[in-house]
Structure 1
Amino acid sequence: MGQKIHPLGFRLNITKPYQSIWYACFINYAVFLREDIKIRKYLETIGKNTKDTEIYKIKIIRSNINQYRNNNKAKKINEKKKIEERKTNNKNSFKKINNKDKIKKTKKIKFGTSKKIKVQIFVAKSKPFEKDNQCLYNKIVHMLKTYLSKHQKLIVEILPYSGSDKYVDISAMGDKIIKDLEKRLPFRRTMYKALNFAPENNGIKIQISGRLNGIDMARHEWKRKGRVPLQTLNAEIDYILKEAHTIYGIFGVKIWIFRGRGKEKKI
């Protein structure tokens, strides 16, 4: 069997940018990762439940982390110098002094934490986020603050759809397929409809997996139109994975769109 790999993660720093930009030490890495997952899940539920909203991309940026890391390095270097000076002056009392320095280290050293978090929400339909209707915006800010620690400042930016961003097409396709499957329409018809009414591309592939037609054994079926080269790194491929909750269980929907070969971009 061929080994599968995520097509977007495979092309990071070549044709695709990072969806979250931050650095953390080994102690705070798990904390930041949990916060990111909670933020993304909450915003995805808002995009599904509220009308006239299509959140197709979420980007998280954390700042002022490397400063803390550099300060910690400087503190460690200064403490080592102090210990070496005391060694030369007092050889006999070195053991007592060394124990005191260990106690001070545990109190003083603080590993890198982020002061600011910027959450960029890319929206296809921005009617509920207009100036007249700020109830939804205030609700999002209030809920996101509960997921974060107290010392972090939150900045939420809502960016409307720009014509250059083509990732909207694939997210809209995924939402349409999910709605059709939840209405109990036949899955083959939904796939053919999506292939015929797909936006301009060089190739497209759609795969649906689950208990198709209510059969006890789960399986997957896929349809392709054109070519989708997943092994070439220069190929600009958009990918999305979504879930449809039906009577027979959860159906997984995967879509690949091949835009063409592009230049290598280091982002």
Structure 2
Amino acid sequence: MGQKVNPIGYRLSLTKDWRSRWFAQKRSTSESPAFGDLLREDLKIRSYVKEQLKQAAVSKIVIERFAKRIRVTVHTARPGLVFGRKRQDLDQLKEKLFKLSGGNEIIIDVKEIKKHELDAQLVAESIASQIERRVNFRRAMKKSIQATIDAGADGIRIRCAGRLNGAELSRQEQYREGRVPLHTLSANVQYGVARATTPAGIIGIKVWMCLPDNIEEILYATNAKKGKVSKGTKGKPGRQRAKK
């Protein structure tokens, strides 16, 4: 079952944390909305932020709720595109989220990702962008694998599925290098999903990435001098063609 479970949800409370951090009752009260209402509101906030910042390489959006205040933390590889000139884009985003949240105070934090090669979601979106620009999917996958291993990842696996290269029949192909343990709960496994829209149809991209334990220090450069990532083994990525 390890291959059918989302690696992030599989490791919640162990090595991964929730991306929505708040508490709500099942039914709405005079003091707080119901769980379903807050969940729907979170989905609207994430969808809007992702759409407005689609050029800013946004990896994930963490939402924290307090009494009458919402903190939205945007993890991005291009923080300059989030702020805009003289923080105008950030202020406009805050005003829109203020309306979506029903008048709650909005606090937007931006965390910069220093090494986008070590973020599974950004790697998946990069491959999707290349496929939409008519780059050969095999070339995009191999290039991303080599860049991730060179950056210090323990292993990576990438799978593309759909009408690859405009083929008449849909199929899926995957490449992998290094170790990507799906059953080991203590392993730091990242997971990213993206979709590439092509004239032949939609191609789905999934990325599994196994990272060292001290990756947070390297990814966000909180302790760049002390944190060292061991280099992965270089070599030609192994190809695996999955059965239909």
Select 1:121's aligned residue among 61, 74, 95.
Answer: 74
Select 1:230's aligned residue among 182, 194, 197.
Answer: 182
Superposed CA deviations along residues 66-109 of structure 1, whole A, max 9, x for unmatched, are xxxxxxxxxxxxxxxxxxxxxxxxxxxxxxxxxxxxxxxxxxxx
Provide TM-score, normalisation by structure 1.
Answer: 0.70
Q: Does the 8 Å contact 1:178/1:244 carry over to 2? A: yes
Aligned-pair CA distance for 1:232: 0.5
Kindly indicate which of the two structures has a greater share of residues assigned to helix: 1
Unaligned 5+ residue runs, structure 2? 28-33, 215-244
Partner of 1:62: 65
Rounded to whole Å, the distance in 2 between the matches of 1:17 and 1:125 is 23
Q: Does the 8 Å contact 2:83/2:89 carry over to 1? A: no
Provide TM-score, normalisation by structure 2.
Answer: 0.76
Is 1:242 the counterpart of 2:194? The answer is yes
State the SS of the aligned residue for 1:228: coil
State the Cα RMSD in Å: 2.3
Check 1:119–1:130 CA distance in 2 against 1; reply closer, same or farther (3 A cut). closer
Superposed CA deviations along residues 10-64 of structure 1, whole A, max 9, x for unmatched, are 001111111110111112111111111111111111222x4xx222221101123
Check 1:231–1:34 CA distance in 2 against 1; reply closer, same or farther (3 A cut). same
Superposed CA deviations along residues 135-192 of structure 1, whole A, max 9, x for unmatched, are 2112211221232224xx23222323165x8786333322321121001122112111
Pairs within 5 Å for 1:1-267: 4-27=4-27, 28-48=34-54, 50=55, 53-64=56-67, 115-130=68-83, 132-150=85-103, 153-161=104-112, 169-198=119-148, 199-260=151-212
Q: Does the 8 Å contact 2:83/2:90 carry over to 1? A: no
Name the structure, 1 or 2, with higher relative contact order (CA <8 Å, separation 6+): 1
Matched to 2:40, the amino acid is R
Q: How many residues align?
A: 206
Q: Does the 8 Å contact 2:53/2:82 carry over to 1? A: no
Rounded to whole Å, the distance in 2 between the matches of 1:188 and 1:43 is 31
When Rg is computed on C-alpha atoms for both structures, the one with the higher figure is: 1
Check 1:236–1:16 CA distance in 2 against 1; reply closer, same or farther (3 A cut). same
Check 1:63–1:14 CA distance in 2 against 1; reply closer, same or farther (3 A cut). same
Check 1:58–1:167 CA distance in 2 against 1; reply closer, same or farther (3 A cut). farther
The percent of aligned pairs where both chains have the same amino acid is: 33
Q: Does the 8 Å contact 1:121/1:156 carry over to 2? A: no
Q: Does the 8 Å contact 1:208/1:251 carry over to 2? A: yes
Aligned-pair CA distance for 1:7: 0.2
Rounded to whole Å, the distance in 2 between the matches of 1:170 and 1:47 is 18
